């Protein structure tokens, strides 16, 4: 029973809230009403049984709560005069006639007039139903800071009148990129070890794919997240970071790989060749044995042309080193202006080590260690340095 309730809450929170915000035009009022409806459900359902249509029940209850609240509070009643006057609240809500307003909600939360941190927090709070405390913990900021961030964002949506809608066609591409970037950011934060955020991002990715089924980049992002996430269990061994080549493949989640590849195939069938589709294709090739490094290098080349990102070039260098040798990889690495980027130095170190240039490799590992604040990564680099010293001692 408890599991069922949790599942229903998890599935329905975003939709109920989105519908209420669309109807009331007020984030805070909608959130309070939704919380009350879920609290009433938690009390009544275990006693009376789960209603046949939980969503309809939740929406009707939440809307009644909002209406009561408006009636009780004269100031609010004045503000929402129209709402009370036309008595929309009296009309029973039929779920079948409701469009899925989560799409409007996610575009509102990810509006470019809000700071990126606020976009992330608001998306997790409203669509994911995470508590302020959970989001604060995941992003390692004080609870108070996160609460202020949310209050400020909701305040700006209201005061500056950020519209609750899917942007018109000429703005859609740019705005969708922002939405995808937020979901990706949440995923990356989760990939760094906070599992629940990775799961949240994949859930948001699935919801977006359901809402915008014909967009290849939406499918590409979902595919990429699934493929990366499939290797989660193998990325760490006894709390230590394990590189792709050394991972225990039996710990990869094959179902997730299959799901990810299916999404990638759909993206390609839709004609997708954007940055997320390319990254998903690369992640898919990484999961193959043996790995087609030449193909991966070519895809990174295509991605560099799209993004002009030196970080992408660094990845291409690794793939090139696998096919054309460490020397060729090193030439690319040494042409990149990424001196403060720790992975540049750890990559350089690996390539120098392969070329037998031990002293230079040691300096590069040390530079990478200097730039690393993550404990597991630091220990990984320490191990590499120890191995290097041992090899130098024996040789």
Task: Give residues in contact with another protein (CB under 8 A).
Answer: 111, 113, 159-163, 167, 171
Q: Considering the complex, what minimum distance in angstroms separates the CB of residue 174 from another protein?
A: 11
Cβ-contact 264, 220 below 8 angstroms: yes
Q: Which is nearer to another protein, 161 or 305 (CB)?
A: 161
Residue 179 beta carbon to another protein: minimum distance, rounded to whole angstroms = 15
Parallel, antiparallel or unpaired: strands 240-241 and 236-237:
antiparallel
List Cα–Cα distances, 28 to 38, 174, 234, 349, 365, in angstroms: 15, 28, 42, 52, 50
CB distance 242 to 232 below 8 Å: no
Is the Cβ of residue 39 or residue 113 nearer to another protein in the bound state? 113
Give the closest residue to 319 by CA, choosing from 306, 337, 302, 338. 302
The 10 Å CB-count burial string (b at 16+, else e) for 200-221 is: bbbbbbbbbbeebeebbbbbbb
Reduced to 3 states, what is the DSSP secondary structure of residue 50?
coil
Cα separation, 95 vs 112, whole angstroms? 31
C-beta of 25: minimal distance to another protein in Å? 11
Minimum distance from CB of 156 to another protein (Å)?
9
160 vs 306 by CB, closer to another protein:
160
Q: Which is nearer to another protein, 103 or 368 (CB)?
A: 103
Of 111 and 232, the one with the shorter C-beta distance to another protein is 111
Q: Tokens 């309070």: give the residue.
A: 32
Closest CA to 56 of 48, 64, 47: 64
Minimum distance, C-beta of residue 101 to another protein, in the bound complex (Å): 17
- Non-local CB neighbours of 220 within 8 Å, separated by 6+ positions: 263, 264, 267, 272, 274, 275, 276, 277, 278, 279, 280
Minimum distance between the CB of residue 169 and another protein, rounded to whole angstroms?
Answer: 13
Q: What is the DSSP letter of 98?
A: -
CB of 162: closest distance to another protein in angstroms?
A: 5
Question: Phi/psi at 20 (nearest 5 deg)?
Answer: -65, -40
CB 163 to another protein: min, Å: 4
Give whichever of 56 and 162 is closer to another protein, judged by the CB atom.
Answer: 162
**Residue 104 C-beta: closest distance to another protein, Å:** 13
DSSP E strands in 234-393: the ranges are 236-237, 240-241
User: For another protein, which is the closer residue by CB, 39 or 171?
Assistant: 171
Nearer to another protein (CB atom), residue 162 or residue 338: 162
Residue among 155 and 335 whose Cβ is closer to another protein? 155
Q: Which two tokens stand for residue 388?
A: 């290097």
């Amino acid at each position: 029973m408890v599991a069922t309730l949790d599942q229903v809450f998890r599935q329905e929170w975003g939709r109920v809230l989105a519908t209420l915000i669309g109807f009331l035009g007020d984030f805070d009022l909608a959130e309070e009403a939704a919380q009350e409806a879920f609290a009433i459900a938690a009390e009544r359902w275990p006693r009376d049984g789960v209603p046949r249509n939980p969503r309809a029940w939740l929406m009707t209850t939440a809307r009644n709560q909002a209406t009561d609240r408006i009636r009780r509070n004269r100031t609010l009643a004045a503000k929402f005069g129209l709402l009370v006057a036309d008595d929309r609240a009296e009309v029973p809500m039929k779920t079948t006639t409701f469009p899925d307003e989560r799409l409007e909600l996610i575009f509102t939360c990810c509006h470019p007039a809000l700071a990126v941190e606020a976009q992330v927090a608001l998306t997790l709070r409203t669509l994911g139903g995470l508590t302020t405390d959970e989001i604060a913990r995941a992003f390692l900021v004080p609870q108070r800071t996160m609460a202020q961030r949310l209050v400020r964002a909701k305040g700006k949506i209201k005061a500056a009148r950020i519209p609750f809608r899917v942007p018109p066609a000429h703005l859609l591409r740019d705005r969708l990129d922002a939405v995808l970037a937020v979901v990706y950011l949440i995923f990356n934060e989760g990939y760094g070890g906070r599992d629940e955020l990775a799961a949240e991002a994949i859930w948001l990715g699935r919801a977006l794919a359901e809402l915008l089924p014909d967009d290849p980049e939406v499918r590409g992002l979902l595919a990429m997240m699934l493929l990366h996430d499939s290797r989660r269990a193998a990325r760490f061994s006894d709390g230590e970071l394990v590189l792709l080549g050394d991972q225990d493949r039996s710990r990869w989640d094959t179902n997730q790989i299959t799901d990810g590849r299916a999404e990638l195939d759909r993206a390609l069938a839709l004609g997708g060749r954007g940055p997320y589709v390319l990254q998903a294709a690369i992640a898919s090739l990484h999961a193959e044995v043996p790995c087609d490094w030449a193909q991966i290098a070519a895809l990174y080349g295509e991605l560099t042309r799209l993004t002009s990102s030196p970080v992408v070039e660094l990845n291409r260098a690794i793939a090139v080193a696998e096919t054309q040798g460490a020397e060729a990889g090193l030439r690319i690495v040494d042409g990149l202006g990424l001196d403060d980027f720790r992975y540049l130095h750890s990559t350089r170190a690996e390539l120098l080590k392969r070329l037998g240039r031990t002293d230079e490799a040691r300096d590069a590992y040390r530079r990478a260690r200097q730039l690393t604040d993550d404990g597991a990564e630091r220990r990984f680099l320490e191990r590499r340095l120890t191995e290097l010293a041992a090899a130098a001692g024996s040789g």
